[in-house]
């Protein structure tokens, strides 16, 4: 498969992220690359993914509790459908440690 320029750039960005050594470095990096709204979207996605992995409530309750749209929750739910169960367990463990 031929890799597009954007895919190469995304991989370069991920490699850059992997060189960060502290939350403070990540904060600086993401403040440079992401707008405030993009950072808010990522924060919301984290809450959504965590709640969906934990399975503690319905999507409607999640929407009401965290003031996120059903569409955002659906996108998170659809993304989780393509992730294997081992990675879901790994991810939930890491998220719960935060």
Same structural domain for residues 40 and 26?
no
Return the structure tokens found at 18: 């992997």
Same structural domain for residues 50 and 87?
yes
pLDDT class of 2 with cuts at 50, 70, 90: confident
Same structural domain for residues 47 and 80?
yes
pLDDT value of residue 1: 64
> Which domain does 86 fall in, by range?
35-98
Spatial distance between the Cα atoms of 74 and 27, rounded to a whole number of angstroms: 27
pLDDT at 54 over 70: yes
Percent over 90 (pLDDT), the chain: 94
Q: What pLDDT, in 10s, does the model give residues 6-20? A: 999 999 999 999 999
Q: For 82, list phi and psi in degrees, rounded to 5.
A: -100, 5
Return the structure tokens found at 88: 């879901």
Same structural domain for residues 28 and 40?
no
Q: What pLDDT, in 10s, does the model give residues 69-90? A: 999 999 999 999 999 999 999 9
Same structural domain for residues 43 and 22?
no
Same structural domain for residues 48 and 80?
yes
Provide the Cα torsion 77, 35, 28, 49; round to 10°.
Answer: -10
Burial 67-76 (b: 16+ CB within 10 A, else e): ebeeebbeeb
pLDDT value of residue 59: 93
Same structural domain for residues 3 and 21?
yes
């Amino acid at each position: 498969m031929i890799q597009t320029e954007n895919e190469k750039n995304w991989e370069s960005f991920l490699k850059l992220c992997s060189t960060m050594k502290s939350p403070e470095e990540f904060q600086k990096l993401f403040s440079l690359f992401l707008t405030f709204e993009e950072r808010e979207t990522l924060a919301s996605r984290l809450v959504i993914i965590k709640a969906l992995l934990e399975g503690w409530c319905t999507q409607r309750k999640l929407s009401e509790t965290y003031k996120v749209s059903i569409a955002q929750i659906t996108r998170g739910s659809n993304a989780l459908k393509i992730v294997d169960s081992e990675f879901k367990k790994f991810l939930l463990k890491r998220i719960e440690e935060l």
